[in-house]
Amino acid sequence: MRPHLTRRRVTAAAALITGAVIAKRWQDGREHVRSAEAPGTPVSHPLFARFFARFAPMAEESGIAGHRDELLAGLRGRVVELGAGTGLNFARYPSSVTEVVAVEPEPYLRARAVAAALRAPVPVRVVEAVAETLPFEDGEFDMAVASLVLCSVPDQAAALEELRRVLRPDGKLHFYEHVLAEDPRLARLQRGVDLFWPHLGGGCHTSRSTVAAIEQAGFRDVSCRRFRFRPCMLAAPVSPMVIGQATRP
């Protein structure tokens, strides 16, 4: 099969599947979700977690795998990863990393991450914790990774404060996130869909100004590449993306 046809079919399938999940989610309000609306509370998104685990590989083929390679380039030493999900980053860590300590609060995703850690080319330890109260000492890590997670933490400022705390002085934060659009029309759409999007996407908000939040958290030398990435039409609200780095003072 020709590559462009494969991509087209993958994109169409993603749109249909996502639409079906959204419809089911609106229909079935009985799903038990202990969403981390307050920092430190248990996190459980059973339907979203299973949907993500099943269809994330399809998204990887559409271009996210390359974004992960860009995100992880240049990492070294001991690394903390925030919001590991199913562990999709683990296989892509460079050999210059001596250990990854991966934080994942959602139980179904965490179990998948533990399995992925066994296949990783570098040592990976998966721990249960929430972003706002990391169980680590001050300055314990050389570098940190935030990958498609700062959109969904209940308290973004507190999560970034914790990342800054556990990094050593001059330690680097590598981040890959979808963010508030610079286009005013798309930004209005994002703010509108955020009335319901977090309930469908495991707490995900589409309209966060994450780069500004990183700067406000006290990181310096913040740099990023901004781009649009939309593997299917339904992904328009999360299509403005950034990949970048920042330094802990």
CATH number at residue 86: 3.40.50.150
pLDDT, tens digit, 9 for 90 and up, residues 151-172: 999 999 999 999 999 999 999 9
Please give the Cα distance from 43 to 65 (Å, whole number): 26
pLDDT, tens digit, 9 for 90 and up, residues 94-113: 999 999 999 999 888 999 99
Decide: 102 and 113 in contact? Cβ < 8 Å: yes
Instruction: List Cβ neighbours of 42 (8 Å cut-off, separation of 6 or more).
Output: 34, 36, 105
Classified as helix, coil or strand, 176 is strand
Please give the Cα distance from 204 to 151 (Å, whole number): 5
Predicted confidence at residue 197, as pLDDT, reads: 86
Number of compact structural domains in the chain: 1
Predicted confidence at residue 45, as pLDDT, reads: 59
Classified as helix, coil or strand, 111 is helix
Decide: 109 and 53 in contact? Cβ < 8 Å: yes
pTM of the full structure:
0.80
Predicted confidence at residue 63, as pLDDT, reads: 80
CA distances (Å), 159 to each of 51, 82, 133, 192, 201, in order? 25, 9, 8, 25, 19
Residue ranges in the chain whose pLDDT is less than 70 = 1-56, 58-61
Please give the Cα distance from 163 to 147 (Å, whole number): 13
The enclosing H or E element of 228 equals strand 220-228
Predicted confidence at residue 203, as pLDDT, reads: 81
- Which two tokens mark 195? 């009335």
Classified as helix, coil or strand, 179 is coil
Predicted confidence at residue 95, as pLDDT, reads: 98
Give ∠ CA 73-75-76 in degrees, rounded to 5. Answer: 145
Give the domain extent around 39. 3-247
